[in-house]
């Protein structure tokens, strides 16, 4: 099923595209109050929690989600859980590739990826998650690294300490195995001893932030950007230093912004200074700009690197950005305020025919674009006329509708469960626009497999009794003898 619709109007300054950005983008587990009710994790029976981030996808459709999982009989909690879902995979086949198991634990999620010309991720090549104990006495941590190409999860048991708010560590053991589909199966084996990592400690009040966050400001058509080296606590004073991990930028690392109507990209001090990486404009066109570091540089938590600029007459909205590291797993991506255009196309695909059985799971994928560029953080609403319920996003109480924000690849993927054998229609719309489309599919009535009729065992035929001529009685023998005698006389 593949539906494409287009609509063109004058440029609209859509309020839904205006997203306030903060200098430090942190996730917390559990989420702050007032928090929504926890929901089941699609495809993971027994797991419930809060979906904290669902916007990281590469162009090939691979997705990274960050959950805050409630405790259950299989593991402790609440814990961060990092879920990797390969493109086209069913929810039940997604794998867990990271966890936070320390009370008040600190976490640094990152990823490496190959990139498209506009800097957006083309293919995730590594997903990493570093979980360490909070200060001041934290000395234990776990370093997770997942390779999508091999489906192998490598866990390093590490140990370290805080020096002026910066956590420094060393590896003391390593274990590698296929990434587990069950969160409780994240384990570490070393020296003949296997430890279930997710059962070690309850982990409430954890914080997570990527290595860097892009921040923006505008003055008319002039846009200024900065890279903020994220801290996980502290106020930055001598008595209360920022808490986190040093971030090492390497020569060749790139910072890209997928904006619209880009003109006059530039780099000024301090970003252009060697001590800050000696950044230069690497490449650009009307829909993106990529900056490149020319010098290795190390930054303490809380550092802000300013001096990246461009101009554009496009209205303010939400655009994608990414930091790709050529040397170390500090790759980050996300969304930031920037020059954007309203959506003019939605492309709808799915569900696949092999999922069309009652009780089966499937997916409907919607791609939102503006002038053939994918748009992030656009709300898409899915509404069913019956026969299916939705499993993810902001699901209605009856399960008949959901709203999902598009990821950095412009896609919103709705997980569905088939509930009836019938022809079903799902209406897809983009609030605030006239973009809408219907996807219709039929779930056949399952033909019951007839039970084979048992073949009765043949009735054994008894062997026939041999026929015998009865012997004559004595008087008959005498009469017969007499009769013969008379005849001879």
Residue 65 CA: distances (Å) to CA of 115, 118, 397, 457: 20, 23, 23, 60
Contact indicator for 122, 58 with CB cutoff of 8 Å: yes
Contact indicator for 305, 277 with CB cutoff of 8 Å: yes
- Can you tell me the distance from the alpha carbon of 179 to that of 326, in angstroms, rounded to the nearest whole number? 24
Q: Taking the C-alpha atoms of 222, 227, 232 and 238 in order, what is their torsion angle to the nearest 10 degrees?
A: -90
Q: What pLDDT does residue 452 have?
A: 67
| Fold annotation for 211-341 | Immunoglobulin-like (2.60.40)
Listing DSSP states for 189-245 in one string gives EETTEEEEGGGSS--TTEEE--SEEEEEEEETTEEEEEEEE--SS--SSSSS---B-
Q: What is the mean pLDDT of residues 440-457?
A: 72
Q: Does position 464 have pLDDT exceeding 70, yes or no?
A: no
Q: Does position 118 have pLDDT exceeding 90, yes or no?
A: no
Q: Does position 61 have pLDDT exceeding 80, yes or no?
A: yes
- Terminus-to-terminus CA distance in the chain, angstroms? 116
Answer yes or no: same fold for 211-341 and 345-442: yes
- Chain position carrying tokens 């505008």: 218
Domain 345-442 has CATH 3.40.50.300: no
- Can you tell me the distance from the alpha carbon of 275 to that of 303, in angstroms, rounded to the nearest whole number? 12
293-328 residues labelled b (16+ CB within 10 A) or e (exposed): beeebebbbbbebbbbbbbbebbbbbbbbbbbbeee
The residue that leads in pLDDT, 210 or 201, is 210
Q: What is the mean pLDDT of residues 242-262?
A: 95
Q: Give the DSSP H or E segment for 276.
A: none
Q: What pLDDT does residue 55 have?
A: 87
- Can you tell me the distance from the alpha carbon of 201 to that of 104, in angstroms, rounded to the nearest whole number? 11
Contact indicator for 416, 364 with CB cutoff of 8 Å: yes
Q: Does position 228 have pLDDT exceeding 80, yes or no?
A: yes
| Least confident piece of the model among 46-60, 241-255, 309-323, 450-464 | 450-464
Q: What pLDDT does residue 468 have?
A: 53
Quote the percentage of the chain above a pLDDT of 70.
86
Specify the pTM: 0.82
Q: Does position 2 have pLDDT exceeding 70, yes or no?
A: no
Q: Does position 406 have pLDDT exceeding 50, yes or no?
A: yes
With a CB cutoff of 8 Å and minimum separation 6, the contacts of 184 are 74, 75, 196, 198, 199
Contact indicator for 341, 370 with CB cutoff of 8 Å: yes
Q: Does position 1 have pLDDT exceeding 90, yes or no?
A: no
**Model confidence pLDDT, tens digit, residues 319-340:** 999 999 877 778 898 999 999 9
- Can you tell me the distance from the alpha carbon of 187 to that of 250, in angstroms, rounded to the nearest whole number? 33
| Least confident piece of the model among 12-26, 152-166, 421-435, 444-458 | 12-26
Highest mean pLDDT, choosing among 247-251, 306-310, 417-421: 306-310
Q: What pLDDT does residue 356 have?
A: 84
Q: Does position 20 have pLDDT exceeding 70, yes or no?
A: no
What residue segments make up the domains of the chain, in order of their start?
Answer: 23-209, 211-341, 345-442
Q: What is the mean pLDDT of residues 218-223?
A: 97
Q: Taking the C-alpha atoms of 347, 353, 359 and 360 in order, what is their torsion angle to the nearest 10 degrees?
A: -70
**Model confidence pLDDT, tens digit, residues 72-87:** 989 988 999 999 999 9
Q: What pLDDT does residue 113 have?
A: 92
Q: What pLDDT does residue 487 have?
A: 40
- Can you tell me the distance from the alpha carbon of 221 to that of 242, in angstroms, rounded to the nearest whole number? 34
Q: What pLDDT does residue 88 have?
A: 85
Q: What pLDDT does residue 12 have?
A: 32
Q: Are strands 373-374 and 423-429 parallel, antiparallel or unpaired?
A: unpaired
- Can you tell me the distance from the alpha carbon of 334 to that of 321, in angstroms, rounded to the nearest whole number? 6
| Least confident piece of the model among 124-133, 262-271, 277-286, 445-454 | 445-454
- Can you tell me the distance from the alpha carbon of 481 to that of 17, in angstroms, rounded to the nearest whole number? 131
Q: What is the mean pLDDT of residues 216-244?
A: 94
Contact indicator for 213, 256 with CB cutoff of 8 Å: no
| Least confident piece of the model among 121-130, 363-372, 458-467 | 458-467
Residue 354 banded pLDDT, cuts 50, 70, 90? confident
């Amino acid at each position: 099923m593949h539906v494409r619709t287009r609509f063109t109007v004058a440029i609209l300054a859509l309020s839904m595209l205006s997203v306030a950005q903060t200098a430090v983008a942190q996730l917390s587990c559990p989420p702050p109050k007032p928090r929504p009710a926890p929901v089941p994790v699609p495809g993971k029976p027994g797991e419930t929690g809060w979906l904290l981030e669902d916007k990281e996808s590469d162009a090939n459709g691979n997705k990274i989600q960050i959950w805050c999982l409630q405790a259950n009989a299989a593991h402790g909690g609440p814990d961060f859980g990092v879920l990797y879902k390969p493109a086209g995979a069913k929810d039940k086949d997604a794998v867990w590739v990271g966890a936070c198991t320390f009370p008040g634990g600190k976490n640094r999620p990152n990823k490496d990826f190959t990139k498209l010309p506009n800097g957006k991720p083309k293919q995730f090549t590594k997903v990493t998650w570093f979980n360490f104990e909070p200060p001041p006495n934290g000395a234990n941590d776990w370093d997770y690294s997942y390779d999508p190409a091999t489906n192998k999860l490598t866990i390093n048991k590490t140990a370290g300490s805080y020096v002026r708010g910066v956590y420094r560590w060393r590896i003391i053991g390593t274990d590698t195995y296929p990434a587990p589909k069950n969160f409780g199966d994240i384990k570490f084996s070393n020296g003949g001893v296997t430890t279930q990592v997710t059962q070690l400690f309850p982990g409430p009040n954890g914080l997570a932030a990527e290595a860097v966050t892009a921040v923006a400001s505008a003055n008319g058509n002039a846009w200024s950007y900065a890279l903020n080296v994220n801290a996980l606590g502290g106020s930055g004073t001598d008595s209360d230093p920022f808490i986190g991990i040093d971030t090492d930028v390497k020569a060749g690392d790139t910072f890209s912004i997928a904006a619209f109507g880009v003109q006059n990209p530039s780099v000024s001090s301090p970003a252009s200074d060697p001590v800050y990486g000696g950044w230069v404009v690497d490449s650009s066109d009307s829909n993106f700009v990529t900056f490149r570091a020319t010098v290795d540089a190390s930054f303490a938590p809380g550092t802000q690197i300013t001096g990246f600029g461009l101009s554009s007459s496009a209205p303010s909205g939400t655009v994608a950005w990414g930091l790709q590291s050529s040397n170390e797993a500090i790759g980050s991506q996300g969304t930031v305020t920037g020059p954007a255009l309203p959506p003019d196309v939605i492309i709808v695909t799915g569900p696949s025919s092999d999922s069309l059985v009652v009780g089966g799971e499937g997916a409907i994928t919607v791609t939102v674009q503006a002038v053939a560029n994918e748009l992030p953080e656009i709300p898409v609403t899915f509404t069913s006329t019956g026969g299916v319920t939705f499993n993810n996003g902001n699901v209605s109480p009856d399960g008949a509708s959901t709203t999902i924000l598009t990821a950095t690849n412009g896609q919103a993927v709705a997980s569905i469960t088939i509930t009836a054998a019938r022809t079903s229609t799902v209406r897809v719309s983009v609030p605030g626009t006239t973009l809408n489309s219907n996807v219709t599919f039929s779930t056949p009535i399952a033909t019951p497999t007839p039970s084979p009729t048992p073949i009765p065992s043949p009735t054994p035929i008894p062997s026939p009794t041999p026929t015998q001529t009865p012997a004559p009685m004595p008087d008959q023998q005498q009469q017969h003898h007499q009769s013969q005698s008379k005849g001879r006389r």
